[in-house]
Amino acid sequence: MDSIFGLQGGDFVIVACDGSIAHSILKIKETEDKILKLDDHKIFGISGEGADRNSFGEIVHKNHCLIRYKTGGYMNLQETAHFVRSMYAQAIRSRDGPHQCNGLLGGVDSDGTPSLYWLDYLGSLQKITRGAQGYANYFLLGLLDNQYKPNLTKEEGIEIIKKCIKELQTRFLIAQNKFIVKIVTKQGIEAFTI
């Protein structure tokens, strides 16, 4: 029942997720952060089954850290996106099968260039300016297309995210009351709850 969505602005990326965890007809938690911090300038929002989301997120995070320690440097966002895509692709070919989760990878490179990538469990990768995963896909793509413009300011981006949240809360049958929003700029990551 996950909703993950985001957009790229002129010098930032915003990714938002619902905070709910559900099992069958029960809502267990409303404060689950489904957006991983990979480093000070990269985040990875994951939608999917809880066990796959947590295990795949942990695998990505730990391997991302391992590469940083082995090489002594950070991967840029494009390298990170291809690295995560290759992990999805390897999982498809493994005996255990694919991880049943999809993601939005966003961040800002050291030169201040923001990027947002859409990934799915089949190993697909696409650089985008706005997008959604999970149930947000059904409700928000038209709104994001309608509201988005190149070189958005941070304030305009936050307003679009608020409109997306209102749309989900109005139209989606499942109550998603709390959303976690993370904004990545050259200065770092800012997080808040709506």
* Cα separation, 88 vs 28, whole angstroms: 28
**pLDDT grade for 25, boundaries at 50, 70 and 90:** confident
CA 97 distance to own-chain centroid = 22
- Domains in the chain (CATH in brackets) are 4-193 (3.60.20.10)
Q: Are 136 and 3 in contact (CB under 8 A)?
A: yes
28: confidence class by pLDDT, cuts 50, 70, 90: confident
* Residue with the two structure tokens 């066990």: 51
Mean pLDDT of the chain: 93
Q: Are 88 and 78 in contact (CB under 8 A)?
A: no
Q: Over the chain, what HEC string results?
A: CCEEEEEECCCCEEEEEECCEEECCEEEECCCCCEEEEECCEEEEEEECHHHHHHHHHHHHHHHHHHHHHHCCCCCHHHHHHHHHHHHHHHHHCCCCCCCEEEEEEEECCCCCEEEEEECCCCCEEEECEEEEECHHHHHHHHHHHHCCCCCCHHHHHHHHHHHHHHHHHHCCCCCCCEEEEEEECCEEEEEEC
The predicted structure's pLDDT at residue 26? 84
The whole-number average pLDDT for the span 22-44 is 91
Is the pTM higher than 0.85? yes
Mean pLDDT of 158-173: 93
Burial class (CB in 10 A: 0-12, 13-18, 19+), 15: buried
Per-residue pLDDT band for 124 (boundaries 50, 70, 90) equals very high
Determine the length of the chain.
Answer: 194
Q: Which residues of 143-182 are buried (b: 16+ CB within 10 A; e: fewer)?
A: bbeebbeeebeeebbbebbeebbebbeeebeeebeebbbb
pLDDT value of position 53 = 93
